[in-house]
Structure 1
Amino acid sequence: MLELPMKNDTSHKIIHVDMDAFYASIEERDDPRLRSRALVIAHDPRTTGGKGVVTTANYVARQFGVHSAMPANQALRLVPRRLLTFKAPDFTKYRAVSAQIHALFHQVTDLIEPVALDEAYLDVTGNTQFRTTIALGLWLQDQIRQATGLTSSIGLSYNKFLAKEASEYNKPQGRTIILPEQAQEFLDRLPIAAFRGVGAKTAPQLEAMGITDGYTLRQFSQEALITRFGKMGLGLYQHARGVDNRPVLVRTAKSIGKERTYQSVLAAEPAVKRELERLAELVAESLTKKQKHGKTVVLKVRDADFVTQTKRLTQDTYFQGATAIAAAAWQLWQGLDHRPEQVRLLGITLTALDPQQYENIDLQL
């Protein structure tokens, strides 16, 4: 098999920002007493019949082997009860903090690829605000800490793969830069299990082949790795040589919405109308922040029996402001096939979004 030619583009400057134990750190910030506890962000399995998985855990809990995606029951077995605290995730709060952090990202670049609420890639190749990329990265860490009270780890390199490896290298509160001339030495020493994309199933297969680090991986030909692992084999071959030409993908929001679940159900239409007005204000605020507007309003309603209905209204012109959005949502509520007497959840979403510089123009023909 002929080896596919490789081009290694080292012209970009990529930063990977990864918040340190993000959800757990937010809870510790809001309640400092939790810092000395083994904090696990998950529903307590003792109250859910053993169900649930760990969303994340603080560094105290991680010392006992607790990690994300672990069954919550297993965390219960690993950590001494006197130290263990379960806390149900509060994604509304986490999303709000994430929005603060992303607003800081936008101060240095619009080339942002969110990976999750707590991490993102930034292409800062065109940076002219800071003397160096490392100065930019240090500024971001400092601004995030000042704005949110939270710490982050950053990795800087010429591609996404290396930037991610760099941010993982020295957590928490880490900062690692991998220059093109340093990449091969860094990768040769990197344990194979630390390679991005090598999971719990693949690592033993590689180790059985005598591949324990980047150096031993690099001794295998492209053909051998593709034959053994298919498309992933090509990725391993490239990554062992510091090659990753994937661009930072800027994702455009297709919709913006807000919804709320009510512990005490809404049992009267005036209460529903007030809640729709509140949700419309939140949606309008998000649209303003993201400089978007749209032509379709979607209403979501769930009743006390967990039956969900959705209904949408599209108009030729953009909805302008909370009042117009709320009026459309109320119109949709009144047009539901079955208006529930008890409402457990309401949601409003605006779709068919465009940048706010797109305007409605009436042409007189």
Structure 2
Amino acid sequence: MCGGDSRQSVAGAGQGPDASESAPPRRILHVDMDAFFASVEQRDRPELRGRPVAVGHGRSRGVVAAASYEAREFGVRSAMPSVTALRKCPELIFVPPRFDVYRGISAEIHAIFADYTELVEPLSLDEAYLDVSLACAGGRPASAIAEEIRARIHATTGLTASAGVSYNKFLAKLASDQNKPDGLTVIPPRRAGAFVAGLPVGRFHGVGPVTEAKMHRLGIRSGADLRARSLAFLQAHFGSSAAHYHAISRGIDPRPVRPDRPRKSIGAETTLSQDLSALEAAAEVLERLAAKLSGPCAEKGLAGRTVTLKVRFTDFVQITRRRTLSRPLTETHEMLEVARQLLAGLHPFPRPVRLLGITLSGLVPRTEGAAARQLDLFDEAGPGGG
């Protein structure tokens, strides 16, 4: 519908566990704009249409914030270093981000959501969950609401959105990604089982590359493989995450849609492909992590007063170091400098490092950080930092 060439599908075949004769299933939508930042730039600059575009800075140390679908065909992805993106696609066009423009369009989109339900949980500028159960109580299909929302977004902004419809957040998010761009996928309870069973585990929320590789080593490659493992087996191999994996493999996700949930922190971490002992090599990893945080901070208009460094060693001992500042940090290089200082305080490392992470907390509107002047630091030892 959106743009005249949308795709709609009904996924799976089987019985969903959340279905109940006494309590009708919830109607949850996940609406996700298609290549949002890049699509805005292509909309506003006709010469970019049909060409590979990356939103970000093309400097040697830059990072891709978003990539158009033309760029994605070459393997360009968000959070990828600019030099890697250019190596994959030499014709890639870098466009500096315009977060004020993106926030304005996002406000228009969320105003449309508000016409259908008060239960809207924004995940970022370009995606949100909507609980439309009440709007469907009179018999109106959730899929019809999703199509209408997508059509209104296109008419208002000139941009396309994809949507997923199901009875919980986990499945709705999976569904919205199924027919991108400009698609709609519905996963009703009776068909959820087969849909989940046929997915690779890497598609599941909470299963990152490291966990995916571990699951593969255990012979778990699909939702069906994951569902076949007992909770005890999963607890033995995945600890506290086991209950989550056990539930989602069965299409179970009781989380409610929480409107206007406040963001307490923004973080990024990575398990290293090679253990590191050198300070310079570990500092380079922090640079990439800080760059990954800059996009979410800018698009949400947030700054933070506290930087927390997370370090896990090869023996799985984990420590944190934290520094709180008198004014909120608004720039990536400021956040990175604090993280580097915290890391330097741990060197020489007692053992090689296998995981590094940075978290920004004490979040406030970005305008507060821009207005502040003083930078008085005081150190705090984080939990386990002894």
TM-score normalised by the chain length of structure 2: 0.62
**What's the counterpart of residue 211 of structure 1?**
220
The answer to whether 1:70 aligns with 2:84 is no
**How many angstroms apart in 1 are the aligned matches of 2:48 and 2:126?**
20
The code of the aligned residue for 1:28 comes to: Q
1:114-125 maps to which residues of 2 (within 5 A)? 114-125=122-133
| Matching of residues 275-314 of structure 1 within 5 Å | none
1:88 CA displacement: 1.0
Q: Deviations over 1:21-45 (max 9, x none)?
A: 0000000000121122210111111
How far the C-alpha of 1:9 sits from its partner, in A, is 6.6
Shift of residue 197, structure 1, vs aligned partner: 1.6
The alignment partner of 1:113 has SS state of strand
Query: Are 1:84 and 2:92 counterparts?
Result: yes
How far is the alpha carbon of 1:252 from its aligned partner? 6.0
Q: 1:189-268, aligned counterparts within 5 Å?
A: 189-251=198-260
Shift of 1:198: 1.2
- Using the TM superposition, give the Cα deviation of residue 16 of structure 1 relative to its aligned residue in structure 2, in angstroms: 0.2
Distance 2:240 2:78 in 1: 27
Q: From 72, 89, 100, give the equivalent of 2:108.
A: 100
Say whether the 8 Å CA contact 2:37–2:66 is kept in structure 1.
yes
Alignment of 1:1-365 (within 5 A): 8=18, 11-45=25-59, 50-80=60-90, 83-127=91-135, 131-251=140-260
Distance 1:147 1:156, change over 3 A: same
Instruction: Work out the number of aligned pairs and report it.
Output: 251
What is the CA–CA distance in structure 2 between the aligned matches of 1:29 and 1:141, rounded to whole Å? Answer: 17
CA distance in 2, matches of 1:8, 1:59: 35
CA distance in 1, matches of 2:124, 2:236: 33
| 1:237 Cα deviation after fit | 0.7
Match of 1:262 in 2: none
Bigger mean CA offset, 10-19 vs 118-127: 10-19
Q: Check the 8 A contact 2:63/2:79 in 1, yes or no.
A: yes
Partner Cα distance (1:113, 1:126) in 2: 16
| AA in 1 matched with 2:45 | D
Q: Secondary structure at the match of 2:64?
A: coil
**Structure 1: which amino acid aligns with 2:52?**
A
2:29 partner letter:
I
Question: Normalising to structure 1: TM-score of the pair?
Answer: 0.65
Q: In 2, Cα distance between the equivalents of 1:239 and 1:231?
A: 14
Query: Contact (CA 8 Å) 2:119, 2:131: kept in 1 or not?
Result: yes
**Any conservation in 2 of the 1:9–1:243 contact (CA below 8 Å)?**
no
Distance in 2, Cα, partners of 1:345 & 1:188: 49
Which one has the largest radius of gyration? 1
SS in 2 for 1:202: helix
What amino acid is aligned across from residue 69 of structure 2 in structure 1? Y
Distance 1:252 1:225, change over 3 A: closer
Of structures 1 and 2, the one scoring higher in RCO (CA 8 A, sep 6+) is: 2
Residue type matched to 2:127 in 1?
E
SS at match of 1:109: coil
Question: Does the 8 A contact of 1:17 with 1:119 survive in 2?
Answer: yes
CA deviation after TM superposition for structure 1 residue 54, in Å: 1.0
Q: Is the 8 A contact 1:16 1:155 kept in 2?
A: yes
Deviates most, 140-149 or 193-202: 193-202
Amino acid at match of 1:60: E
- The code of the aligned residue for 1:102 comes to H
Please give the secondary structure, in 1, of the residue aligned with 2:177. helix
Determine what percentage of the aligned residue pairs are the same residue. Answer: 44
Summarize deviations over 1:126-172 as a string: whole Å, max 9, x none: 00587211110000000000000000100000000000000011111
Cα distance, 1:345–1:217 mapped onto 2, change above 3 Å: closer
Verify the 8 A CA contact 1:130 1:136 in the aligned structure 2: no
Q: Is the 8 A contact 1:222 1:237 kept in 2?
A: yes
Q: Give the aligned residue type for 2:165.
A: L
1:195, 1:33 → 2: CA distance? Answer: 37
Do the aligned partners of residues 139 and 182 (structure 1) sit closer, same or farther apart at CA in structure 2, a change above 3 Å counting?
same
Q: Deviations over 1:51-91 (max 9, x none)?
A: 121111001110111101111121111112xx210011110
Contact 1:9 1:245 in 2 (8 A): no
1:1-31 deviation per Cα after TM superposition (whole angstroms, max 9, x unaligned): xxxxxx8476211000000000000000001
Q: Is contact 1:53–1:70 with CA below 8 Å preserved after alignment? A: yes
Structure 1 stretches of 4+ moved >4 Å: 344-347
Structure 1 gap segments, 5+ residues each: 1-6, 255-298, 307-343, 348-365
Residue 135 of structure 2 aligns with an amino acid whose one-letter code is N
Residue identity opposite 1:12 in structure 2: R
RMSD (Å) for aligned C-alpha atoms? 2.4
SS at match of 2:31: strand
